[in-house]
Amino acid sequence: MESESPTETKKGKSKTPKKAKESILKQKSPAEFFAENKNIAGFDNPGKCLYTTVRELVENALDSAEAISELPVIEITIEEIVKSKFNSMIGLVDRERVDEALYDDYETAKAREKRLAKEARAQEIQAKNAALGKKVKEHAVSKSSKGRGEASFYRVTCRDNGRGMPHDDIPNMFGRVLSGTKYGLKQTRGKFGLGAKMALIWSKMSTGLPIEISSSMRGQNYLSFCRLDIDIHRNIPHIHLHEKRDNKDKWHGAEIQVVIEGNWTTYRSKILHYMRQMAVITPYAQFLFKFVSDAPDKNVTIKFARRTDVMPPVPVETKHHPSSVDILLIKRLIAETSKQNLMQFLQHEFVNIGKPLAERLIGEMGPEFSPKMAVKSLTDQQIVRIHQLFRQAKFDDPSGDCLSPAGEYNLRLGIIKELHPDMVATYSGSAQVFEGHPFIVEAGVSVGGKDVKQGLNIFRFANRIPLLFEQGGDVVTRTALKRISWNNYKINQTQDKIGVFVSIVSTKIPFKGTGKEYIGDDISEIASAVKSAIQQCCIQLKSKIVKKMQAREQQERKRNLSKYIPDASNAVYNVLQEMAKSHASKKKRYEEGDADILQKVSDHLITKETLYEKLTQHVEKVDYEMALEYATQTGVREEPREDIYLQSLDGKGNFFDFHSPIFVFRLFL
């Protein structure tokens, strides 16, 4: 008799193995990806979300005004919304707590008694220290009165006088991630098509409320109004209301309003610091910042006034440099080009490839290439050959004509307007290149000023955007701290109030990390240009500081000499009186010249006052001669006087601006 298998003894039949579960492919929309990874766009926590929202809206507003060469007027308002008001906005009825112990801020009677006793002891110690004249430290609150889960909400509104948006494009411009107008190769403040869209995503995640947009373009007699949110999973706008309204004031620009969760308390200083730095780098813009709260003592209103009406040129889109492209980009350019043959393609789609160079390149590619071959017929292997040649061949560097730096004039104005330094120097370098991308470094160094701490105060800008976070690893910080010998320029790195301003503009800013908060220290071309720009400012300051030191030494020398004039006058006069008595009594005879002086002393024609006056004149003469000799030996020349800024004419007359690195000459017609 055969033995039964274990499976047969259990159920009388063998088990069939289960089929493996089929894998199901899933796809995420770009909006869903950024909602789950919002830290990539700088939305790390509620406080940072509030800061980043303000930053994105302000920068979009500046871009919009500059695009039509309009002097920017930007109003940014943050309104605090208390919990009861927020609940009424979303139609939620407030409910009293039923189970107190359920909440994070619940405190037992014993814990409350212990906390109050601890706070009483702390207050007693503070009172004793205050009575003894000791410095009193503020006592930290042991338990926050606000629970961990109770959020703070804010309505952020940004209004500008820019070009506005076409009525039909508004939904996609705000409700579709990775769609925008900033994808060409040019210097822009933004790159990813996120900006206000991330603020909308954060609003949907934290409050569920839609964003509101009002916009009007120049010459339009209507105003576009749109209320929308975003369908995260499909990455399409969900429109609540989209209509045209009367534009009675003939206003043009955009006003964006979004309600989000945030934290003003922890990020207040960062937001205000950002606005101040933005006023430094764009002195031609006018900013009005308001924080509005139900508690009047928390309200903030700051106006950053315009200092000049001279704007930098609008950055222009440029073509790719051959050394900066990859295989995918070459394929995309081939797919999008309107040119038929290879010769035309090379000349039209890339900078610094003229007809002679294009012919040489095609000849170098091999016999299967010809100038008149159809560019669309290129095989993958042939495209790789073109890419290899582009990487190995020598091309002229691209020019910086497509870039729009702030300009020494504006940088200097911004520093003077916001910091009020004792002295300032600025420098703008010529265009340089890394990986085929042109860049320009501008720098300013100031000494002294209002609200400036002792030591180095570093201000970093990339494409005219202030960078506030992750300062330690930035190329500007490392250069200022480690590569500049400040003592060589008569600047004390620890005691003087030093402002270091560096602005880098490029068609590609090599940010480190996804947050776009700092520029790495590993690109030698940029590091060298930053160091050189700061040094050029320091050289200018050194001559001013030496001149100031010379003046101070001159005053000190004069003060020391003048201090002894009264004593010296008395001593000399007393000696002369004794000599005059001896001469009168014929005890001692003097030569004719000396006798005349002694006779004048006897006749009171020479007095103490006479000697005092003569010694003072002598000190003035010696002081002048020594200062002149010092200036001749050290080569100190007369420095130009401080700039004089004239108010522009109110009229709308025609004029031309002639730009120089350090001034702008305006010719009115």
Instruction: Note the pLDDT tens digit of each residue in 500-523.
Output: 999 999 888 888 876 678 888 888
Q: Are residues 173 and 34 in the same domain?
A: yes
Instruction: Note the pLDDT tens digit of each residue in 311-336.
Output: 888 888 888 888 888 889 899 898 88
- Who wins on pLDDT, 317 or 50? 50
Query: Does the residue 243 lie in any domain?
Result: yes
Pairing of strands 455-462, 497-506: parallel
Please enumerate in sequence order all residues whose Cβ is within 8 A of that of 130, keeping only pairs 6 or more positions apart, or say none: 136
- Structure tokens belonging to residue 170: 């508004």
Range of the domain at 429: 420-537
**Residue ending a domain, choose from 392, 411, 439:** 392
The number of domains in the chain is: 4
Query: Does the residue 16 lie in any domain?
Result: no
CA–CA distance, 139 with 128 (Å, rounded to integer) = 14
Q: Are residues 487 and 562 in the same domain?
A: no
Phi then psi dihedrals of residue 271, to 5 deg: -65, -45
SS3 399: coil
Instruction: Note the pLDDT tens digit of each residue in 229-261.
Output: 988 888 888 999 999 999 888 899 999 999 999
Greatest mean pLDDT range, 140-149, 210-219, 614-623, 638-647 = 210-219
> How many residues in total does the chain contain?
669
Side-by-side strand order, sheet with 73-81: 236-246, 222-231, 211-216, 253-262, 152-159, 73-81, 286-292, 300-304
Q: Could you tell me which of 179, 191, 203 has the C-alpha nearest to residue 261? A: 203
Q: Are residues 485 and 424 in the same domain?
A: yes
What is the percent of the chain where pLDDT is above 90?
24
Cβ neighbours around 601 below 10 Å, total: 22
Average pLDDT over residues 639-667: 56
Query: Does the residue 2 lie in any domain?
Result: no
**Residue ending a domain, choose from 304, 339, 357:** 304
Q: Are residues 332 and 459 in the same domain?
A: no
Instruction: Note the pLDDT tens digit of each residue in 597-628.
Output: 777 777 777 787 887 887 787 777 776 666 56
Q: Could you tell me which of 333, 319, 323, 435 has the C-alpha nearest to residue 389? A: 323
Binding residues for ATP are 60, 160, 181-182, 190-197, 516
Question: In whole angstroms, what separates CA 405 from the centre of its chain?
Answer: 13
Please enumerate in sequence order all residues whose Cβ is within 8 A of that of 636, keeping only pairs 6 or more positions apart, or say none: 543, 546, 547, 550, 630
Binding residues are 60, 160, 181-182, 190-197, 516
Query: Quick check: 361 pLDDT over 50?
Result: yes
Identify each DSSP E strand in 253-367 by its residue range.
253-262, 286-292, 300-304
Q: Are residues 177 and 293 in the same domain?
A: yes
**Residue ending a domain, choose from 473, 504, 537:** 537
Q: Are residues 263 and 293 in the same domain?
A: yes
**pLDDT value at position 589?**
67
Q: Could you tell me which of 370, 387, 373, 388 has the C-alpha nearest to residue 332? A: 387
CA–CA distance, 224 with 241 (Å, rounded to integer) = 10
Q: Are residues 77 and 167 in the same domain?
A: yes
Average pLDDT over residues 137-158: 64
Confidence of residue 2 (pLDDT cuts 50, 70, 90): very low
Amino acid letter for position 568: A
CA–CA distance, 481 with 581 (Å, rounded to integer) = 71
Instruction: Note the pLDDT tens digit of each residue in 385-434.
Output: 999 998 888 888 888 888 888 888 888 888 988 888 988 999 998 888 88
Q: Are residues 446 and 580 in the same domain?
A: no
Q: Are residues 552 and 519 in the same domain?
A: no
